[in-house]
Amino acid sequence: MSDKGRALVLGGGGVTGIAWEIGLVLGLAEAGVDLTGADLLIGTSAGSVVAARLADGTPLEELYAGQSHPPRDEISARLTTGMMLRYVTAYALPGTGQRKRARLGRAALRARTVSEAERRTVFEGRLAQRDWPERALRVTAVNAEDGSFAVFDRDSGAPFLDAVAASCAVPLVWPPVTIDGHRYMDGGMRSVANVDLAAGYGRVVVLAPITRALTRAGRPDVQLAALDARSILLSPDAAALKAIGGNVLDPARRAPAAEAGRTQAASVADAVREVWA
């Protein structure tokens, strides 16, 4: 087994997922388990925002406090039943994973949403810097035009803010993001956490606000089991799920989600320490 060190994988889960992950990371740090020293940060969708903020060195207390501030630039949204049915239909029809994602991508390109410019403003408020950090950071997305999987990093040529925005571009809810002439959507359409990108790392911690996936291969537990690593998968407990509520895209639920993550940390700290220390 090659051991490149420790990888922290941060999965998707809307604005409440961002808050829960930040709360959990802070709570673990307070318990003596500092995940911010990871050798590799992998972010998908909501997790790309958290990974980006951890990579830029923003203090955890500042990130946590930010979840209680009024969501000035955030836009409230909801995944409707109709949208979910389109997701299921795109993946239920025959074809490769890439072909299934392309079906959904075509629908995303046609969907009526806010403009790219308006959505970009949200990320100008979410991110502290505009350039890729020096830390090893991978941000995932899916090409909405052909369904191919994309992994952006500081060597990819993709603008940092646009890469994170693309990773969070939930199909049918938000517009695909233009990077180098192509349109990209949420990296969670390939896998909710893309845990397999941590292959080769000896210790892997996965924070997954959502663990269900459109395909079995996209589930974080399935991907984690295939890695030759000491690992742990963390997802919201019952109290956190209640705090998050039924709409992960509701900015009003950020504060309770962050608090629930911070509280949950006490119950998992010892297990995480065994993997991470």
Report residue 33 as tokens: 């388990």
Would you tell me how many other CB atoms lie within 10 Å of the CB of residue 192?
A: 28
The burial class, CB within 10 Å (0-12 / 13-18 / 19+), for 252 is middle
Active site residues: 45, 186
Q: Tell me the C-alpha to C-alpha distance, in Å, between residue 92 and each of 84, 87, 253.
A: 12, 9, 32
* Exposed e or buried b per residue across 2-30, where buried means at least 16 C-beta atoms within 10 angstroms of its C-beta: eeeebbbbbbbbbbbbbbbbbbbbbbbbe
Give CA torsion, residues 9, 221, 168, 108, to 10 deg.
150
Would you tell me how many other CB atoms lie within 10 Å of the CB of residue 62?
A: 11
Would you tell me how many other CB atoms lie within 10 Å of the CB of residue 78?
A: 13
* Chain center to CA of 277: 24
Would you tell me how many other CB atoms lie within 10 Å of the CB of residue 202?
A: 19
**Do residues 31 and 263 lie in contact, with contact meaning Cβ atoms separated by under 8 Å?**
no
Length of the chain: 277
What residue type is assigned to position 67 of the chain? Q
What is the distance between the alpha carbons of residues 187 and 136, in angstroms, rounded to a whole number?
Answer: 18
